[in-house]
Amino acid sequence: MALDAETRDQLIDTVRRFVTERLRPLEAPVAEDDAMPDDVVEEMKGLGLFGLSIPEEYGGLGLSMEDECLVVIEMGRTSPAFRSTFGTNVGIGSQALVMFGTEAQKQKYLPGIASGEIITSFALTEPEAGSDSAAVQTRAVRDGDHYVLNGAKRYITNANKAHLFTVMARTDASKPGAGGVSAFLVPRDTPGLSVGKPEKKMGQQGAHVCDVIFDNVRVPAENLIGAEGEGFKVAMQVLDKGRLHISALCVGVAERLIADSVAYASERKQFGQALTGFQLVQGMIADCKTEALAARALTLETARSRDAGRNVTMEGAAAKYFASEMVGRVADKAVQIFGGAGYITEYGIERFYRDVRIFRIYEGTSQIQQVIIARETMKRGG
């Protein structure tokens, strides 16, 4: 549901102030400690951030895709780890349930997801199934009124915090590829489910990814999302939406980096004048701003199209591809504008440089987005 203009402006202003006054001062400590303060998480819950995309009837804010993107752009103006704290609840960890769940499943889980009392996680990637999502090897074998899951998932965001996993598992071994995959809701406390230690990562300290192991995990058949064999369809539609969310995040980070670069270049002097007086520096700023504006326009236009009910598989892939590549270029130029200071931890620019690298990988790599864009373009005849 789209908010009226006044309510939307109030929400965006509230999030902007939360980012500026509360989160930005914590960026360095969170990165240093690789942990999110509990009081910050509680404040996020109070603001409704865990329920941005959950329908109002289940306790969420029920934002339209456009409104969600506008809020996420504001969250992008601080370290991405903060957004990741609630990101799976808003996106890939909840949307299979929102889009394909039964009413009983929604009533059972969505209110807790919206409030942040239930943290969700999306378990698709495996040691041998990443970009090739249809190559899932985790098995789910029917046993009476249960399925028994065995297998392992890798690099699962928020797994160590999650209370509920959306798990992709192969229910029909005779069907290779996408046709034999199904989606399940699996509570964290189900016997046989274990979570590995958080991986050490290049960036986004404070946000964690872990392995998830399934050893004869018995899941009630009522926890199947959609029909058996529809898991790949579920995953792809969830990712269509998630890609727009990530696109908006990339825009927000780029806008933060541009603002920081302009502020630094205005104060830093070389050869008797501010860096902003040099045309080659101006050129880098111009490139960054132009690309960020283009990414913002593409992301919001695609979000509006999705809200209107149109298929945006191609446009969503294009937005994610362009925005994630764009923010990488902006981060690189920000380091260049800051010069030696950009390489030093104190200024935070090197941290953002590392943080944004993952955007070209998760929710589908840039190469997978290229495949989707080309495929959908050829389907449409140009």
Which residues, at least 6 apart from 2, have a Cβ–Cβ distance to it below 8 Å?
A: 8, 63, 64, 66, 67, 307
Measured distance CA(232)–CA(147) in Å, rounded: 18
Measured distance CA(250)–CA(72) in Å, rounded: 9
Residue of 66, 222, 363, 376 marked active site: 363
Catalytic annotation present for 255:
no
Instruction: Report the catalytic residues.
Output: 363
